[in-house]
Chains A and B, each alone.
Chain A
């Protein structure tokens, strides 16, 4: 997409290890995500899915192996991390909107103070993305005045305003009511159809089937299975995967 960046995979992970004290959260993870590819990561709670994507934008620091994002390796070089952080957007389970700012300010702050864009330009961009997530009329409200689904769509718009190359979704619908899940997933489907590179931790298997290029199943800090959605849902060989699928699809 962007000719100034080196080609190659969007994210390349090799032998990734992560411990929390004595707890081994990620074990020798290998994963490569191409530009424009959509990955869905699922697995039981505590399996390391969130930790994995939080390592990609450095909210967690890995303690073994290598991660390269857009061709740049993540290490302790601060400038390096800042540069990469701007290219990776993230949407959280609990939205994490800034409650003391309006919806519009939430979307403008990072472009203005991080990317040093003029305010007028940042506002135009913000309004364009609010339009895209279908809540342009809420721009002047505060987050607390919106429903959960609307807040999550603002959070998506806020991340998009930085015009990232990669979007990470950390269980974006798991705290929402069913009718709001649909409105958030719709926005994510649109985003996918426009060619965004997306890595989504989610249990929305319908979404995975429709959008994902690959589905990854994790358990106990390992990638257990990795397959295109059709194969994943119909012919997975692994016992743990089948058990998990029967639990999430069972009802």
Chain B
């Protein structure tokens, strides 16, 4: 009787283990494809009631840290290291707020160095980014040794560019998945601000219609960025930064973005790749005075942010 009872207990335990294994297996990654994570925790561990689907979607949509650099290089603008955040300044970023913002800015700068193939400076910036990634506990997505090796081997610049950008996206994704969307929002803010700063500095050095339109054409993207940042308006540091972006958005009031209808075109390049050119396009209407004010404000905001 005792033996039977022991066996029964053992069987019950085994069934429990089996069900647990099945349960955890089914929990793996089996949710809907458009995965989102729950509410974020803040620096002070308070939870904020936000719409996680909306915020993660907005953050995810933001441009890659290399895009503005690629645009500037494509416009044949000469390289200048003085446009970048000095690494010694980045070493002083001490709060998570500053580190996440700095991680975005330095990632944009790394993109700039990558497209201009500046190997020595790349290693210097990789080291700074590694330090920030360590502090934010996302270093496992930043393959520092591989990146450093690729940077010192000039034949592998394509791989370096690929790995730098994919590491950035992996760190950003990890922050969102671990309910740290506030830091992820700061990363995209850093990328956007540094990209705009580069465009403004380049345009001040050599004014060009394309660069001007990049800067003036950011009205709707700035609105998108602010709609992310305003989720965190109840935090003093965010509030202070957001006020500056709100002032910048105000300067865009006179910039008109007009939608013009037209006929779509499809052509084929030399490589036979189909090229779609929408007929519907925008015209950006602004004055030189508007542009100057916007540029000065972008430069001021970026410089304020790195001297927090």
Do A and B pair up? The answer is no
- List the interface of chain B (C-beta within 8 A of A): none
